[in-house]
Amino acid sequence: MAVPIFRALIPKSHPHFHYLFPTSSGVDKNSKKKKCLFCAPSQLNPLRSEVSISVGVHLIPHPKKVDTGGEDAFFVSKRKGGVIAVADGVSGWAEKDVDPALFPQELMANFYYLLEEQEELNNDPQILIGKAHAATSSIGSATVILAMLERNGILKIANVGDCGLRVIREGRTVFSTSPQEHSFDCPYQLSSEIVGQTYLDAMVSSVELMEGDTIIMGSDGLFDNVFDNEIVSIIARYKDVDEAAKALANLASTHSMDLNFDSPYALEARSKGFDVPKWKKVLGKKLTGGKPDDITVIVGQVVSS
């Protein structure tokens, strides 16, 4: 894997910092308009104590990008209740001899620097995205999602594009972000170019969490290939966040290479009018298969501080 920029400048042992980018322990080498949403906790179990998140991460690069580590980047911090983020670099920049991984990596690094320098940003993920975007000088573009957990259990989320987040409580999905797309497979994205989205286009959400809730965050490589009911099943099976993240990433990777799997990506494609030729439809065939992609999964368990 190529060594990403900034990694050497930030010690992994920092008290408010886990990691910014894909690391060898998290890579399996074998292998879109602004809204405000709110999700209330169970009336039977109101949140009382201060909370934080215990986090596990796993990344599997696109099969053709294993040597470089892929074009996803992620950020995990212990600051306050916890901060997590995923950015997915737009691969089309490679056609212009630009490394698509540099823009999302620098964006993640800027999250770290800004959180260290500007305390007031801790409460507003949308503003943090805006300032980090403005400070990013690398050429490229990326979709991005950022979530900040306050000690009182309020999770604040800002999302530009088709990275996503789910909250699972007592065996069911109680909150889900929605992808932002201009058209099928063309998501909103932050860019180094003037033409593109900004932090003002972010979907802003607020979720009140309970101890025991599980947060699932990932790039579209996860959500294009794994259904929500499958995510719930995996979370029920694995109590360790590292194992859960690895299991979800591996399932997404398996589905992505299965030409016969009727994936979320295939279902959306058909709903947008993309399908097999008419003569194949006559034979009862339809467009199926997963979507090979970089896959990043963050699993966070809400625990008492």
- HSE-CB for 29 with a 13 A CA cutoff: 7
What CATH code would you report for 51-257+290-304?
3.60.40.10
Task: Read off the pLDDT of residues 169-218 as tens digits, 9 standing for 90 and up.
Answer: 999 999 999 999 999 999 999 999 988 899 999 999 999 999 999 999 99
User: Each residue of 242-294: pLDDT tens digit?
Assistant: 999 999 999 999 999 999 999 999 999 999 999 988 888 888 889 999 999 99
DSSP-derived secondary structure for the chain: -PPPTTGGGS-TT-TT--BSS--GGGB-S------EEEEPPPSSS---S-EEEEEEEEEE--GGGTTTT-SEEEEEE-STT-EEEEEEE-GGGGGGT--TTHHHHHHHHHHHHHHHH-GGGGG-HHHHHHHHHHH--SS-EEEEEEEEE-TTSEEEEEEESS-EEEEEETTEEEEE----EEETTEE--EESSSSSB-GGG-EEEEEE--TT-EEEEE-HHHHTT--HHHHHHHHHH--SHHHHHHHHHHHHHHHHT-TT---HHHHHHHHTT--S-HHHHHTT----------EEEEEEEEEE-
pLDDT at residue 122 in the model: 63
Each residue's pLDDT tens digit, 10-39? 333 333 333 455 443 344 434 333 333 333
pLDDT for 195: 84
